[in-house]
Amino acid sequence: MSTALEVQGLSVGFGQERVLRDLSFTVTAGSTLAIIGPNGAGKTVLFRALIGTVPYEGTVRWAPDTRIGYVPQKLDIERDLPLTGRDFLRAKAKVAGVPRDEIARVLSAVSLDGGAADRPIGTLSGGQFQRLLVAFALMGRPTVLLFDEPTAGVDPPGEESIYALFRQLQRKHGFTLLLISHELNLVYRYADQVLCLSQREACVGPPIEVLTTERLQAMYGAQMKFHVHEHHEGRADT
Amino acid sequence: MAVAAGLVGSVAVMRRMTLAADAISHIALPGVGLALLLRFDPVLGALGALLVGAFLVWGVERQTRIPTEAIIGVVFSLALAIGSMMASGEQLIDALFGAPQSLGQTELVLGGVAAVLVIAFMLWARSELVIALVSPDLARTAGVRVARVELMFLMAFALTVALGLRYLGVLLMGSLIIIPAATAKQLARSLDGMQWWSVGLAVFAMLAGSLGGPLLGVATGPLTIVVAAAVFFMSLVTRRAG
């Protein structure tokens, strides 16, 4: 398998504070990497370094011709911003140089109905807005998708359906998926590799090696149990 | 000119930079003062100062840690103070409120060309500006060169203010950019709606001011803004009722 992303010795600091220290990992093309860790461990900062919006030391090497689709954690949108979902997608179509009929394709891929797409984006529900951002990321056929807590602000059934959607889209388009998540049971089920970030150390490996009670306790610094059942379902208790 | 103001204003209001917009327009004043002092065309002086001002606001916006509003407030007052020290009396009133009757042929032609330039840029860069105002990070991953397009937008803004300077003056040109767009935001639910309303209202206010001014025997500039503001208050009522 070819490599989609290679990170070596990545460090990011703001002033005196080091948020990420000497981080190295690689991601295989077409695989799913989940990034976990407590708040403040630098998960979002890692994404922003990967897309080049914060200065960093070290190397971030994407495969040639990589097209990135990014879904940020949350955006502060005014309720009365006169911009509909369709306006937003049209703008992306123009910038990415893709035909406008892409809009219908991505809207149906994320199951967002036309009615919601024609409403101002500030009035959409959390789940609808999330789907719109996924649709925005999918335009222009990205080879890599970055999701920052894709299910924050979404109710549990919606959460599961967003993960199922990723899985289905990934099977269809074969893109590489990087996602930040707190949902360890979903991470267990959907990720090929897990990258854990914490103040103390970082670790990388398949879920079965990384998501152990000892590792999680060391990382989150709290009582954290994670049960793996025989039929490969995970459950996290704090 | 009003079309350019409407387009620039719609993006400025959507970016929530009305205060910065005001500050930029006031920065024209020291430029006018300097031009009067050194005896060259005040519009050129204003344009120079405005471009510097746009660059300053752009620089401040990029340094997110600095409280932007505080700096803008200071720069804005400083510009007014320096401007009023340099110019005086009638000249100052002209610079603040405009003097449409003193427009020359060359100025009209140059103004027309500049307006067309601004309009063309606003239409060309619309998609990039829209994505950047929702999220600079998203814009960046979509391939938008955010810093560049934002600087160009602020320059377009500065040029638009300079355009209206002789007609409306420093104080009122900022208002012709912001008020119709703020009204449009009350009325529109989509991007096209926003821009049509914004342009339409700016043109309407301008025509009402130009035609109604001589008829009522009042200055055209202030009347233009009074009309724009009246429509804004009407839009507030409509929205509340709707």
Looking at per-residue pLDDT, the higher value among A42 and B60 belongs to: A42
- Residue A63 DSSP label: P
The pLDDT tens digits of the residues spanning B85-140 come to 776 667 667 766 666 666 677 777 888 898 999 999 999 999 999 999 898 889 98
Amino acid at A109: A
Could you tell me the residue range of the domain that residue A202 belongs to?
1-66+143-238
> Of A141, A163, A194, which residue is a domain's last?
A141
Together in a domain, A135 and A23: no
Q: Output the six-digit token pair for B194.
A: 């926003």
The 3-state DSSP class for residue B128 equals helix
Q: How does the average pLDDT of chain B come out, rounded? A: 83
Residues of B in contact with A137 (CB under 8 A): 141
- Whether residue A28 is found in the same domain as residue A96: no
Of B16, B130, B138, the CB nearest to A72: B138
Check B137 against A120: CB less than 8 A apart: no
Question: Do A228 and A207 fall within a single domain?
Answer: yes
Cβ of B131 within 8 Å of Cβ of A83? The answer is no
Residue A228 has a pLDDT of 54
Give the closest residue to A192 by CA, choosing from A160, A166, A173: A166
Instruction: Kindly list the domain boundaries of chain B, sorted by start residue.
Output: 2-241
Q: Which of A112, A141, A170 is the last residue of a domain?
A: A141
Distance CA B110, CA A62 (A): 48
**Beta carbons of A215 and A207 less than 8 angstroms apart:** no
Question: How far apart are the C-alpha atoms of B15 and B131, rounded to whole Å?
Answer: 11
Q: Which one of A74, A86, A94, A148 makes the best mutation probe of the B interface by having the most chain B beta carbons within 10 Å?
A: A94
Does A136 lie at the interface with B, CB-CB under 8 angstroms?
Answer: yes
CB B208 within 8 A of CB B224: yes
- For the domain bounded by B2-241, which CATH number is listed? 1.10.3470.10
Q: Do B141 and A75 touch (CB under 8 A)?
A: no
Token pair for A18: 């080091």
Asked if B24 contacts B74 with a C-beta cutoff of 8 angstroms, the reply is no
Mean pLDDT, chain A, as a whole number? 83
Same structural domain, A56 and A159: yes
Co-location of A102 and A3 in the same domain:
no
Please identify which residue in the block is written with the tokens 């892409």.
A102
Tens of pLDDT along A167-189? 888 888 888 999 998 878 778 88
Number of Cβ pairs < 8 A linking chain A and chain B:
77
The answer to whether the CB atoms of A83 and B185 lie below 8 A apart is no
Q: For A15-87, where are the E strands, in sequence order?
A: 17-28, 32-36, 57-62, 68-71
CA distances from A88 to A43, A132, A135, B109, B183 (A): 27, 9, 10, 36, 21
Binned at pLDDT 50, 70 and 90, residue B193 comes out as very high
Residue of B127, B137, B144 with shortest CB distance to A70: B137
Closest CA to B183 of B141, B227, B130: B227
* Residue A232 pLDDT: 45
ipTM of the complex: 0.83
The two tokens of residue A184 are: 């360890």
pLDDT value at residue A119:
93
CB nearest A82 (choices: B135, B141, B188) = B188
Q: How confident is the model at residue B195 (pLDDT cuts 50, 70, 90)?
A: very high
Tell me which long-range contacts A125-133 makes (C-beta under 8 A, separation of at least 24).
A126/A153, A126/A154, A126/A158, A127/A154, A127/A155, A127/A158, A127/A162, A129/A75, A129/A77, A130/A71, A130/A154, A130/A162, A131/A162, A132/A85, A132/A88, A132/A89, A133/A71, A133/A72, A133/A75, A133/B138
Query: A95 and B184 in contact by Cβ < 8 A?
Result: no
Distance in Å, alpha carbon of A48 to nearest chain B alpha carbon: 8
Q: What does the alpha-carbon distance between residue A121 and residue A132 come to, in Å, rounded to a whole number?
A: 9
Clarify whether residues A49 and A153 are in a common domain.
yes
Residue that finishes a domain, picked among A98, A121, A141: A141
Q: B34 phi and psi, to 5 degrees?
A: -65, -40
Task: Dump the DSSP string for A144-194.
Answer: EEEEESTTTTS-HHHHHHHHHHHHHHHHHH--EEEEE-S-HHHHHHH-SEE
Looking at the structure, tell me whether residues A59 and A151 fall in a common domain: yes
**Cβ separation A87–B191 shorter than 8 A:** yes
Q: Do B134 and A121 touch (CB under 8 A)?
A: yes
Task: Show Cβ contacts of residue A44 under 8 Å, excluding neighbours closer than 6 positions.
Answer: A73, A148, A180
Q: pLDDT tier at B64 (50, 70, 90 boundaries)?
A: low
- How many other β-carbons are positioned within 10 Å of the β-carbon of residue A6? 14
pLDDT above 60: residue A237: no
Strands A3-14 and A17-28: antiparallel
> Which pLDDT belongs to residue A238?
37
Residues A214, A149 share a domain: yes
Structure confidence at residue B34 as a pLDDT band (50, 70, 90): confident
- Which residues of chain A does B138 touch, with a Cβ-Cβ cutoff of 8 Å? 70, 72, 133, 136
Q: Same domain for A147 and A212?
A: yes
B143: chain A residues, CB-CB within 8 Å? 95-96
Tell me how crowded residue B63 is: count the other CB atoms within 10 A of its CB.
9
Tally of domains in chain A = 2
Verify that A238 and A202 share a domain, yes or no: yes
Q: What average pLDDT does this structure show over B211-220?
A: 87
Interface of B with A (CB under 8 A): 14, 16, 126-128, 130-131, 134-138, 140-144, 184-186, 188-194
Contact A83 B138 (CB under 8 A): no
Q: Let me know: does A147 contact A177? Beta carbons within 8 Å.
A: yes
CATH of the domain at A5: 3.40.50.300
Cα gap A211→A205, rounded to integer Å: 9
Judgement on whether residues A133 and A148 belong to the same structural domain of the protein = no
Q: Which residue has the tokens 């767009």?
A: B181
| CA A211 – CA A234 distance, rounded (Å) | 10
Chain B CA closest to residue A146: B141
User: Is A44 an interface residue toward B (CB < 8 Å)?
Assistant: no
- Looking at the fold, whether A216 and A185 belong to one and the same domain comes out as yes
CA distance B14 to chain A (A): 7
**pLDDT confidence of B232, banded at 50, 70, 90?**
very high
Tokens of A165: 């959607």
What is the rounded distance in angstroms from the CA atom of residue B176 to the CA atom of residue B225?
Answer: 7
Tokens of A1: 């398998």
CB-nearest to B141 from A70, A75, A86 is: A70
Note the pLDDT of residue A235. Answer: 43
What pLDDT is recorded for position A94? 93
Q: What are phi and psi of B22, to 5 degrees?
A: -60, -45
Three-state secondary-structure class, residue B90:
helix
Phi, psi of A106 (to 5 degrees): -70, -35
